[in-house]
Amino acid sequence: MSATLPTEVEARLAAAVAALDLERPAITELSGGVANRSFRLRDRGHDYVLRLAGESAADLGASGTSEVAMQALAAGAGLAPPLVLADAAAGVVVSRYVAGRTPTARGLQDVRM
């Protein structure tokens, strides 16, 4: 990582890397998100996205438990990447990385979407 991260984020990132048993992953911070921080973790044979819930997530009415349940349901239906690791209490969700793009506001209005 080229940017300096807050100590708390570094510690949570290191804990997730250890829980995933990754040796020396390439870590890239992903853009987007209002309250959360997301990172792509790549290691030999593994390609994951780690989402760390931000302090303001609760202020937005987000529930970690509900988010994990919804992603698990979406993954089961083939609409989201499968979960690899989830700890709602710690605000940690890891899923497999899937290449794609973020739809535009206009794209979301397309009925075919």
DSSP state string for 30-78: EP--SS-EEEEEEETTEEEEEEE--GGGGGGT--HHHHHHHHHHHHHTT
Q: What pLDDT was estimated at residue 24?
A: 93
**What predicted TM-score, i.e. pTM, was given to this entire model?**
0.81
Q: What is the pLDDT of residues 13-34, one digit of tens each?
A: 999 999 999 999 999 999 877 7
Task: Please give the angle made by the CA atoms of 57, 32 and 39, to the nearest 5 degrees.
Answer: 85
Which residue segments constitute the domains of the chain, with CATH numbers given? 7-108 (3.30.200.20)
Amino acid at position 78, single letter: G
Distance CA 108, CA 113 (A): 6
